[in-house]
Amino acid sequence: MELKRGKERRRKENKNLHRSMAWCFAGMVLLLVAASIIQPDRKISDEENRVLTTFPRPDIENIKNKEYMTELEDYSSDQFILRDLWIRLKVRCDLLVGKREFNGVYLGKKKYLMQIPVGMDEKNTKENLEAMNQFRQKNGDLRMNALIVPNAAYIMKDYLPMGAPVRDQGEDMKYIKKQLSGGIGLIDITETLRKHVDEGVYYKTDHHWTSRGAAYGFNAAAKQLEIEGLVSDYKIHTVATDFSGTLASRSGYHKATDTVEVYQPENVEYQYLVSDSDNEEKRPTIYDRKALDGKDKYQVFFGGNHAMVDIVTTNDNQRRLLIFKDSYANSFVPFLIPYYNEIIMIDARYYYENVHMLVENKGITDVLFLYNMDTFLNDNSLGDVLASE
């Protein structure tokens, strides 16, 4: 009888314990939800380096097509209390079980983060290539080349997690070359970058190539760009040693940092002035030191992306280069400056003017399309700008 009463007492104690634990858990959840509602909405996540979703406004249209519920779900996820802490904890748990892919980013050897190349948007790619060919037909007297830079995951295959699938961007390069008209030369620097992978041609935490990678890319492209008398000596300045880039933000993995370098040509006599569509004042440098105090230190090059950047130099060879570009060009263009009288950079994602008038008014002699492969295969802004009249 005593034994039976003891078992009954322990059963009751366990039941009370489980009930208390359940109430504590429910209370914690409610507390977190309440705190998420009470706290002011954050506009930007420094951890993820992106704009966060703010509270969506309901209307009849978005409620009907169910967009409101999707927006509300995104809002709840973005504004949840201690979001950054939960992301870091999740990454640590994933690492413990051997996971090496986080939100579209591979974690490779030596703590390299590599963006997983996305597939080709066939419609956008076709429109971009057709617009480039038509642009060539209208400007048959210009020297035109395209430099499409592969992603780190394709170049650095030996650094990938075991068995990680990666899109064959070599086949993409062949497709682009086949579709381009004979008047546009395609510059393929794949093998050059692969030869120097161990020297750090891509950042560990960011999707861009480094200044060292851009330097090797420039030297490989110079002949096809008809550039002679290459600068042989550069003074390399380290401007940051604590860069944590876009891939660290996206993945939540923050176990590595990068060094940002800028290359200054030596024994070269030239000067230049820079202006852009966001800053009327001309300045004698392409570098923005203020960016080194922020999170995205890659913006030290030109202060980030602008619809148009105009670089006028004291070089009197009368070669004027028009570049259609994404952010990969920002660390590449510094190597071009000594060889042109003027360089105009157009970021088609933000540019809405008539490029044909620009070519005529500026007396353009050379054109370069410079993109990362992922951008080129998916963004449709280049085709829109080139087709504008």
Model pTM?
A: 0.82
Which pLDDT does position 250 carry in this prediction?
A: 87
- Do residue 208 and residue 308 come from a single domain? yes
Which pLDDT does position 29 carry in this prediction?
A: 47
Q: How many domains does the chain have?
A: 2
Average of pLDDT values for 193-218? 98
- Do residue 154 and residue 20 come from a single domain? no
- Do residue 243 and residue 363 come from a single domain? yes
Answer yes or no: are the C-beta atoms of 381 and 352 closer than 8 Å. Answer: no
Examine residue 280 and state whether it is found in any structural domain, yes or no: yes
For residues 372 and 131, what is the distance between their CA atoms, to the nearest angstrom? Answer: 18
Of the candidate ranges 22-26, 33-37, 303-307, the one whose mean pLDDT is the lowest: 33-37
Instruction: Evaluate if residue 263 carries a pLDDT over 70.
Output: yes
Examine residue 29 and state whether it is found in any structural domain, yes or no: yes
Which pLDDT does position 4 carry in this prediction?
A: 55
**Of 160 and 56, the one with more pLDDT:** 160
Answer yes or no: are the C-beta atoms of 259 and 243 closer than 8 Å. Answer: yes
**Of 293 and 52, the one with more pLDDT:** 293
Confidence of residue 35 (pLDDT cuts 50, 70, 90): very low
In the chain, the percentage of residues whose pLDDT exceeds 70 is 75
Which pLDDT does position 36 carry in this prediction?
A: 47
- Do residue 340 and residue 199 come from a single domain? yes
> Among the ranges 91-95, 292-296, 361-365, which has the highest mean pLDDT value?
361-365
Which pLDDT does position 268 carry in this prediction?
A: 85
Average of pLDDT values for 77-88? 56
- Do residue 358 and residue 213 come from a single domain? yes
- Do residue 126 and residue 28 come from a single domain? no
Average of pLDDT values for 272-290? 93
In the chain, the percentage of residues whose pLDDT exceeds 90 is 67
Examine residue 184 and state whether it is found in any structural domain, yes or no: yes
Confidence of residue 93 (pLDDT cuts 50, 70, 90): confident
At CA 348, angle to CA 185 and CA 331, rounded to 5? Answer: 70
- Do residue 142 and residue 255 come from a single domain? yes
* Count of beta carbons in the 10 Å neighbourhood of residue 18: 10
Of the candidate ranges 51-65, 265-279, 285-299, 308-322, the one whose mean pLDDT is the lowest: 51-65
Of the candidate ranges 43-52, 237-246, 274-283, 340-349, the one whose mean pLDDT is the lowest: 43-52
Examine residue 44 and state whether it is found in any structural domain, yes or no: no
Average of pLDDT values for 323-343? 97
Which pLDDT does position 225 carry in this prediction?
A: 98
**Of 266 and 33, the one with more pLDDT:** 266
- Do residue 239 and residue 374 come from a single domain? yes
Which pLDDT does position 46 carry in this prediction?
A: 52
Examine residue 70 and state whether it is found in any structural domain, yes or no: no
- Do residue 130 and residue 272 come from a single domain? yes
Which pLDDT does position 339 carry in this prediction?
A: 96
- Do residue 238 and residue 365 come from a single domain? yes
- Do residue 128 and residue 19 come from a single domain? no
Q: Is 267 left (phi over 0), alpha (psi -120 to 50) or beta?
A: left
Collapse the DSSP code of 115 into the 3-class scheme (helix H, G, I; strand E, B; otherwise coil) and give the result. strand
108-143 residue pLDDT tens: 999 999 999 988 999 999 999 999 999 999 999 999
Which pLDDT does position 181 carry in this prediction?
A: 84
Confidence of residue 103 (pLDDT cuts 50, 70, 90): confident
Q: Where are the alpha helices (DSSP H) in the chain?
A: 2-38, 60-64, 67-78, 83-96, 122-138, 152-155, 169-179, 190-195, 211-221, 246-251, 355-362, 373-378, 381-387
For residue 235, the enclosing domain spans 119-387
- Do residue 163 and residue 17 come from a single domain? no
Examine residue 332 and state whether it is found in any structural domain, yes or no: yes
Strand 184-187 versus strand 50-51 pairing type: unpaired
Examine residue 11 and state whether it is found in any structural domain, yes or no: yes
How much is the mean pLDDT over the chain?
A: 85
Examine residue 4 and state whether it is found in any structural domain, yes or no: yes
Instruction: Evaluate if residue 43 carries a pLDDT over 90.
Output: no
Which pLDDT does position 182 carry in this prediction?
A: 84
